Structure 1
C-alpha cells in the first residue's frame, strides 16, 4: 500500500521519534485551537435542561484505544471522567463506538445503527487518517463525511469532527493536509464543530515535545499520554461550547 518514498519518509520519522525524549510532557493547546467553531446547542440544552449529556464517540482505532495500556486511558473514557468532574449533577454517558481500521465510508454506513440506540446529544466523529492512508479520493471522502453528518443530525445530535493525528505515519503521507482541509470545509458547510487534533499535536511537536512522549511505538497510534491529553483537551473544548457556568462554578465559562 505504501510507496517506497512513503516508507522512507516514515522510517526517518520513526527514527526521530524513537531516539528523542523529555522528562515531563505537558498537555497543552492554545485557546484558539480549543475553539470548536460552532455552538453545540443540542448538547447545551441537554445539559442545562435535562442534566444529562449523551455522547457517541464514533471512530476507528484511535477511538477504540489501540496503543494504550488500558481502556481507561482511551480518549472517550478520559472525556467522560473529566466531564463528570466538571459537571457534578449531570449524568454524562460516553459510548465508545471505535472500530479499528475503519474509514469514513465504513463509519458513515453504521452511523444510524450506532447513534440512534444511544439517543446521542453529541457525536464526536474521529475520522480521516485511514481514508488518507488508503488514498480515498477527496471528493468521495467529502461525500461520506456529509452523508454521515446528515444521518447523525437527522437523529437529533450535534457533531464534532476530530481530524487526523500528527504522528510519523501521517506526517509521511504526501497529502494529509488536504484531508484536514476537506474536513474543515465540510464542518463549516454542515454547521458542525471541529476539533483540530492535527494542529494541536503539531503544536506539541513544534514546541519541542518528541514523538516518543505521545505516540505508540508503531508510529501511528497515540500512547497513554497522547490519548489522555486528547481526552482532556476535548473535554475543555466541549465545556467551552456547552457553557454550563451554573454547573461548573467557573465565572468565565459563560463568556
Structure 2
C-alpha cells in the first residue's frame, strides 16, 4: 500500500515544480555564495522533524552524518573544502557559534539507494549522529531502476533510521542540463522529477525533513554552466556553493 501511494506521487512532481518559491538574498559569510544564486526559503520542509537536533544544539554539540553518492562525496569540486559537506558544516557553525557542529562526509560516488541503505546502520553505529542528511535517487534513475525499487529500498533505510532514533533530512536528485551532449542523460529530468516528487511525499509520510534540490536548480541558469561541471552530471564550485547556501538557510531556520 505504501509503495503504491509513493508511485502515485509520480503524477505530481511537475505541479510541485510549478509552485512559486520566494527568493531572497543570503547573509551567509562562512563561504562565498555566488551573487547569481537564488536562495529559496520555501524549498526546505521541516515536516515536524528535527527535535533531537534542536536538543543537541541546546546541549552544545550537534553531529550530522551525510550519506549518499558523488554529490555528497564532493566529486566535481576543485578542492575538498569547496564541496557541499564542508560548506554546510561551515555555514552551520556560523549560524550556531555557541555549539560544536560536525558534519561527517560519508558520500560514496556511484551509490544507489540500496547501496547506501546496505551500509547505513554501520555508519550510524560508527558516528552516532543526531541528524542524517540522506541524498538519494539520482543514480537509481540513471541506471534505469524502478521507482518502486527506490521506495522499497527507502523503506529499509527508514527502519534503520527510526530504530536509531535520529533526525533525518532527505535530499532529492539534481537536475541535469537540458542541452547535454551525453546521450545517456537526455530525457532523464522527467524521471528525476518523478523521484523528487516521491521523496517529498516520503518525507511528509515519515515526518522527515526534506531539502529539495531538483526544483531550485531550475533557478540556477545564471550560475556558470547552470552550476554543473563539464561532465553534465557533477556540480561545479558555484553549484556546490549555491546548494550548500540553500541547505544552510533552510536547515538553520528550522533549527532555531
TM range (shorter): 0.7 to 0.9
Gaps of 5+ in 1: 1-23, 244-255
Aligned residue number for residue 200 of structure 1: 216
Q: Report the CA distance between 1:171 and its aligned residue.
A: 6.7
Bigger Cα displacement from structure 2, 57-66 vs 167-176:
167-176
Alpha-carbon distance between aligned partners in 2 of 1:211 and 1:171, rounded to the nearest angstrom: 20
SS of the residue corresponding to residue 110 of structure 1 reads helix
Alpha-carbon distance between aligned partners in 2 of 1:114 and 1:51, rounded to the nearest angstrom: 22
Aligned residue number for residue 61 of structure 1: 70
Structural RMSD (CA): 1.7
Alpha-carbon distance between aligned partners in 1 of 2:104 and 2:91, rounded to the nearest angstrom: 15
Q: Report the CA distance between 1:25 and its aligned residue.
A: 4.6
SS of the residue corresponding to residue 165 of structure 1 reads coil
Q: Report the CA distance between 1:181 and its aligned residue.
A: 1.9
Residues 38 and 220, structure 2, Cα contact 8 Å, conserved in 1: yes
Asked if 1:149 is matched to 2:153, the reply is: no
Residues 161 and 194, structure 1, Cα contact 8 Å, conserved in 2: yes
Residues 173 and 213, structure 2, Cα contact 8 Å, conserved in 1: yes
SS of the residue corresponding to residue 220 of structure 2 reads helix
Q: Report the CA distance between 1:210 and its aligned residue.
A: 5.5
Alpha-carbon distance between aligned partners in 1 of 2:202 and 2:87, rounded to the nearest angstrom: 27
Residues 37 and 223, structure 2, Cα contact 8 Å, conserved in 1: no
Mapping 1:8-157, distance limit 5 Å: 25-48=35-58, 50-157=59-166
SS of the residue corresponding to residue 216 of structure 1 reads coil
Residues 39 and 242, structure 1, Cα contact 8 Å, conserved in 2: no
Residues 146 and 186, structure 1, Cα contact 8 Å, conserved in 2: no
Residues 175 and 192, structure 2, Cα contact 8 Å, conserved in 1: no
Aligned residue number for residue 172 of structure 1: 187
Q: What is the TM-score normalised by the length of structure 1?
A: 0.80
SS of the residue corresponding to residue 231 of structure 1 reads helix
SS of the residue corresponding to residue 215 of structure 2 reads helix
Q: Report the CA distance between 1:167 and its aligned residue.
A: 2.1
SS of the residue corresponding to residue 54 of structure 1 reads strand
How many residue pairs get matched? 216
